[in-house]
Amino acid sequence: MSAAQIVLAVILFVAAVILAFFGIRQLQCKGYCFNNAYIYASKEERETMYLRPYYKQSGVVFLMLACLFLLNGLRIVFDIKALLYVSFVLIAAIIVYAVVSSIRIEKNK
């Protein structure tokens, strides 16, 4: 394994830990809500929003991204080509989850 691969793997593992930390904090409904619906809402709308579904959506996406970064780091370390395809499936799952959960949140308003 080259030095560049080691550095890249370390960066990916650190990013996975940071994303997992933010994902857990979001699921606990703590900290800033990293959700577009909240970020782009006016100050008046933010005061009346029920934030639990937005925190949950953001938390799940952060945790799925943490898994993606972890998989890519493992792929580099162990040189397993099949993990690339697993990563593609996980990316598709993240996108589908984000769209479907956004629709469900808007439907339940």
pLDDT over 80 (residue 12): yes
pLDDT over 90 (residue 1): no
Residue 7, pLDDT score: 96
pLDDT over 80 (residue 93): yes
pLDDT in tens, 77-88: 999 999 999 999
The CA distance from 57 to 11, in Å, is: 25
pLDDT in tens, 20-62: 999 999 999 999 999 999 999 999 999 999 999 999 999 999 9
